Amino acid sequence: MPEKPQQSTEDRLTVGGTGYRYCISLRVTHPSRSLDDLTVELGIVPNRTWRAGEPRTSPRGKPLKGVYGEHYWTARLVDGVSTDRDLATALAAVLDSLFVKKEFIANLSKSGGRSEFFIGWFFDEGNSGDVFSSTLLGQLADFCIDLSFDVYP
């Protein structure tokens, strides 16, 4: 009886659908604590920040009505393609890179803030998906980091 051929990583990732693209950002909000120290503490330059009480603006700086109700910090961390590295593997790698700051990040949530990985998930055609293991989900819980998805089929 002939042996079943081994699937390549690319074949395995596209069975039942097509490959996908993704981007992962870290978003942090806090109602009362300034997030100015995040840039230095994490060693990551944010894409956008604001402080509670500042006048609201569009991403391009156009004035909007009102003021921000909370402090906000966001940085884009990863742009990827499933044929290079699936989303679950990319999330695990980001958590590994932030491991030494786990208590710092978790304390932001414990003090009333919120941390999340904001994921833009882009499917070029058909359906696709990924599996997030209980181990990965447990690691996210240890960091007190939520997952937020915007899916673009």
pLDDT at 23: 97
Q: Are strands 114-123 and 145-152 parallel, antiparallel or unpaired?
A: parallel
User: Given this model, what pLDDT does residue 78 score?
Assistant: 96
> One-letter amino acid identity for 112?
G
pLDDT beneath 70: ranges in the chain: 1-18
How far from 109 is each of 62, 103, 143, CA to CA, in Å? 30, 10, 9
- The pLDDT score that the predictor gives to residue 131 is 92
Q: Name the pTM for this structure.
A: 0.84
